[in-house]
């Protein structure tokens, strides 16, 4: 009875706070009603739910006659509260309490959810649907075994990595859409976690198109985007090859720390800038297909190179892959490690090389856009320092 009352009071207090006619007492009593009828018989439960439906219908009719909008959300919450009380009567505790908390949270976040959906683009809604498609429809039907005699391709294992990469990219993209307008420094970090190369290109174009106003901030932008890329790659390793994460953490965190310190000293203490940069969503049919094809190509090439050429060939593939996509290359290196094709130390070297390659490929992008000798010189020196520290960290790992 105490649990049923708590569930009803929780949702009812929120509805009372929102100035709804159906408030705390009604919700508490409906929850108690569900709990009591569950102790009698299913027939009593069905009859009582019919009474709750009539109550909800009467409330909506009265609000419509008063020229107000229908209380659809409150009505559904009331019906759910009844069934949560029924679950409590059947002896369940965790499920109804957790559901009541989630329901109350959704009710209280009306303004935030409304403002968020108001700025959503059609492409972003399609991206969310595509994430559900590739994760809950395609993944379960893929075979969970090697389909080739050389044991190179396990469709379900490979697709799981593609799904996680898409989720990471989409999550970072949503953060960029929500918080990127608070300043270009935040945009550089969030955009770098989505796609560091595209972010740096956009920010470099912005620096040039501003008539020199933002040109001095090009170096901090690049460093912060690289910082996010290093941390994202470390997260990927921790997800797919946790045993190799301690070995990868030293070089990646060292380079991330160097980016943070140098960006702090290179910052320009002027007014806060806010401008949205147009990054495409990382979850589209084209991007997912690119993730899948490129990941499989890098994973297969790395495995073959390791088997027939040795560690040197495996590391060369890692560096070349990092020039195109450090995230996919890092995931491929982690996958090769989990298959037992290489050890944790070599994986750390491969991941570091992929990350360094991503840093190096950003230099010509900035050079083509920022026609400022001082900016180019500072960025070259900073990049050399970061690579040197990463190399020294890898040497420590190997030793």
pLDDT digit string (tens) for 147-204?
Answer: 888 888 889 988 988 888 888 888 888 778 777 666 778 888 888 888 888 888 887 7
For the segment 306-324, the average pLDDT, to the nearest whole number, is: 91
Of residues 272 and 259, more confidence is placed in 259
Taking the C-alpha atoms of residue 102 and residue 108, their distance in angstroms, rounded to an integer, is: 10
Q: Give the CA angle between residues 368, 222, 116 to the nearest 5°.
A: 115
Taking the C-alpha atoms of residue 81 and residue 237, their distance in angstroms, rounded to an integer, is: 43
Would the pLDDT of 364 be above 60? yes
Residues 6+ apart with CB under 8 A from 101: 10
**What is the reported pLDDT for 28?**
96
Radius of gyration, alpha carbons of the chain = 27
Provide the H-helix boundaries in the chain.
2-17, 24-38, 42-65, 72-89, 94-108, 110-118, 122-133, 139-141, 155-179, 184-209, 218-240, 245-266, 285-308, 311-324, 326-338, 344-369, 373-398
Would the pLDDT of 115 be above 80? no
Note whether 296 and 153 are within 8 A (CB): yes
pTM, two decimals, is: 0.75
Neighbour tally for 278: CB within 10 Å: 6
Handedness of CA 304, 314, 284, 142 (dihedral sign): positive
**What is the reported pLDDT for 275?**
58
**What is the reported pLDDT for 214?**
56
Residues 6+ apart with CB under 8 A from 307: 341
Taking the C-alpha atoms of residue 30 and residue 53, their distance in angstroms, rounded to an integer, is: 11
Would the pLDDT of 283 be above 80? no
Q: Provide the b/e sequence for 260-276 (b: ≥16 CB within 10 Å).
A: eebbeebeeeeeebeee
Note whether 357 and 322 are within 8 A (CB): yes
Would the pLDDT of 291 be above 80? yes
Among 109-118, 138-147, 190-199, 362-371, where is mean pLDDT lowest? 109-118
For the segment 346-356, the average pLDDT, to the nearest whole number, is: 95
Among 38-42, 81-85, 139-143, 365-369, where is mean pLDDT lowest? 365-369
**What is the reported pLDDT for 271?**
45
Q: Give the CA angle between residues 19, 53, 102 to the nearest 5°.
A: 55
DSSP 284: S
Note whether 187 and 176 are within 8 A (CB): yes
**What is the reported pLDDT for 269?**
59
212: left (phi over 0), alpha (psi -120 to 50) or beta: left
Note whether 343 and 308 are within 8 A (CB): no
Give the rounded percent of residues in the chain with a pLDDT score beyond 90: 52
Of residues 330 and 207, more confidence is placed in 330
């Amino acid at each position: 009875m105490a649990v049923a009352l708590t569930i009803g009071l929780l949702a009812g207090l929120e509805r009372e706070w929102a100035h709804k006619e159906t408030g705390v007492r009604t919700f508490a009593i409906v929850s108690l009603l569900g709990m009591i009828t569950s102790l009698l018989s299913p027939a009593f439960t069905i009859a009582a739910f019919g009474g709750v439906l009539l109550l909800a219908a009467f409330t909506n009719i009265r609000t419509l006659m008063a020229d107000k909008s229908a209380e659809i959300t409150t009505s559904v919450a009331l019906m759910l509260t009844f069934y949560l009380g029924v679950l409590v009567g059947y002896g369940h505790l965790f499920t109804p309490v957790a559901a009541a908390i989630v329901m109350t949270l959704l009710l209280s976040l009306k303004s935030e959810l409304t403002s968020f959906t108001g700025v959503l683009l059609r492409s972003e809604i399609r991206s969310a649907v595509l994430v559900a498609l590739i994760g809950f429809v395609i993944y379960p039907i893929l075979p969970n075994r090697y389909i080739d005699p050389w044991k190179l391709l396990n469709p379900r294992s490979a697709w799981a990595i593609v799904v996680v990469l898409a989720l990471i990219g989409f999550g970072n993209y949503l953060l960029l859409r929500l918080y990127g307008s608070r300043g270009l420094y935040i945009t550089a970090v969030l955009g770098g976690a989505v796609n560091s190369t595209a972010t740096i290109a956009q920010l470099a174009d912005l620096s040039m198109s501003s008539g020199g106003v933002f040109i001095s901030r090009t170096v901090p932008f690049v460093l912060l985007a690289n910082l996010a890329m290093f941390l994202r790659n470390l997260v990927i390793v921790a997800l797919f090859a946790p045993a190799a994460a301690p070995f990868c953490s030293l070089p990646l965190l060292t380079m991330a720390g160097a980016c943070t310190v140098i960006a702090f000293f290179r910052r320009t203490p002027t007014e806060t800038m806010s401008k949205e940069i147009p990054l495409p969503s990382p979850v589209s049919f084209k991007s997912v297909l690119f993730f899948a094809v490129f990941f499989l190509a890098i994973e297969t090439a790395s495995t073959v190179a390791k088997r027939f050429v040795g560690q040197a060939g495996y590391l060369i593939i890692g560096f070349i892959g990092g020039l195109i996509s450090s995230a996919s290359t890092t995931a491929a290196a982690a996958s090769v490690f989990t298959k037992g094709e290489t050890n944790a130390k070599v994986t750390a070297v491969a991941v570091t090389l992929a990350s360094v390659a991503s840093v190096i490929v950003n230099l010509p992008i900035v050079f083509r856009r920022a026609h400022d000798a001082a900016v180019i010189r500072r960025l070259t020196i900073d990049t050399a320092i970061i690579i040197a520290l990463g190399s020294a960290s890898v040497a420590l790992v190997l030793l």
